[in-house]
Amino acid sequence: MHEFRLPGVTHFGWGAVEKAGEEAARLGRRALLVTGRSAMKETGVADRVTKLLLDASVAVVLFTGVESDPRAGTVDRGAAVATAEGCDLVIGLGGGSPMDAARAIAAMAVLEGSVLDYLRGKPIDRPGLPLMNIATTAGTASEITPVAVILDEGRALKFGVKSPYWFAKVAITDPELTLSMLPALTAATGLDALTHAVESYLSTGATPPSKALAIRAVAMIGANLPAAYAEGTNRTAREGMAMGSMLAGMAFANAGLGLVHGLVHPLGARHGLSHGNACGRLLPYVMRFNLAAVDQELREVGGALTGDPAATAEDAIAAVERLLQTVNVPRGLADVAIPEADMPALARDGLLAGAVRTNPRQVSEEESLALLEEARRG
């Protein structure tokens, strides 16, 4: 028997953002709108969503300034603002960081203590405020998932907190909102989506529905990322990437991920490497590490990426490496200034993430270090 969960309502397609006001009015009367520091204002998306909410008689309290890696203190401040302002709804608008922060803020507006308590293992025992997430990138799929990745500054560690209570009531994925993405962001978020698709397909928690979604996502991302990167206004490529990201999110929300997502968290927390970029850099190394455990599945990934039903596992790895070249993201970490002395801690901390539990091959600290050292050599 398998369990499969998704957000309450998902709107996908061109113009889907126009549903924001109607759906918000169904959930509450006063919304905390959570965004990053500037992008949503500069592109006009925040103003557009605010107008949709006001036209639907939903008052708006703006909470800006979410960092690229949302910090625990930011989440706690957001929850305090939501409570003080009498908000009965939280809306995340942007990429993964604002949507993750919104998810945690909605929870902490109801839960006691600090989000740090829950990062460190305190159980989540109730729903938070109703949540709506609106994606403006094609990669994180945070609008679809019940996971929030938060930075614990005191320990310089990033942790993913997951709860079935944390699915959004409404998820909106509108390819139109991705048209303004710059090539570097398109590459990073697209590689994140590809890693979600591959890792959820190989995961020990995979089920028939999640695998069907994941392998379709692999094919869509492989086919559309080069064009979305080269020509940002290519509507066919943008729609394909938005759909691929969403399907990958549906898959990993239920199946889990793997070693890539464990290792990239300390790299981001300690060395500032962007999440999606780091995922792409490490994906070929982890695919090769896992090959002995999932050769057939990697053959199928290769087929999805190349269109060749006779593809091998090595073909799958080579296809990912070609995709990295196409979007100008280096394979490995040779260009990242990581001191030798930091490597053991990165290897150790990378195994703390819950994502590693569903990696198809068990990983020791020594193996984790060896993989990172190989990636560091490039």
| d(C-alpha 327, C-alpha 311), whole Å | 22
Asked if the structure places residue 4 within a domain, the reply is no
Residue 2 lies in a domain: no
Q: Can you read off the two tokens belonging to residue 44?
A: 């006009």
Q: Which of 132, 161, 177 is the last residue of a domain?
A: 177
For 298-331, the pLDDT digits (tens) are 999 999 999 999 999 999 999 999 999 999 999 9
Whether residue 224 lies inside any domain: the answer is yes
Looking at the 3D structure of the chain, how many domains does it have? 2
Same domain, 159 and 17: yes
What's the start-to-end Cα distance of the chain, in Å? 42
Integer angstrom CA distances of residue 100 from 68, 70, 71, 224: 10, 8, 10, 25
* One-letter identity of residue 172: I
The residue ranges of the chain whose pLDDT is under 70 are none
Q: Are residues 171 and 232 in the same domain?
A: no
Same domain, 14 and 146: yes
Read off the tokens for 292.
Answer: 């002995």
Please identify, among 177, 195, 212, the residue that sits at the C-terminal boundary of a domain. Answer: 177
> Is residue 149 helix, strand or coil?
strand
Residue 3 is assigned to a structural domain of this protein: no
pLDDT at 378 (0 to 100) = 86
Q: Are residues 13 and 161 in the same domain?
A: yes
- Are residue 158 and residue 217 in the same domain, yes or no? no
Q: CATH number for the domain including 338? A: 1.20.1090.10
pTM of the predicted model, to two decimals? 0.95
Residue 342 domain-assigned? yes
Q: Which domain-ending residue is among 130, 149, 177?
A: 177
Full residue range of the structural domain in which residue 292 is found: 182-377
Same domain, 50 and 162: yes
Q: Is residue 1 a part of any domain in this protein?
A: no
201 vs 8, 118, 250, CA distance in Å? 24, 28, 11
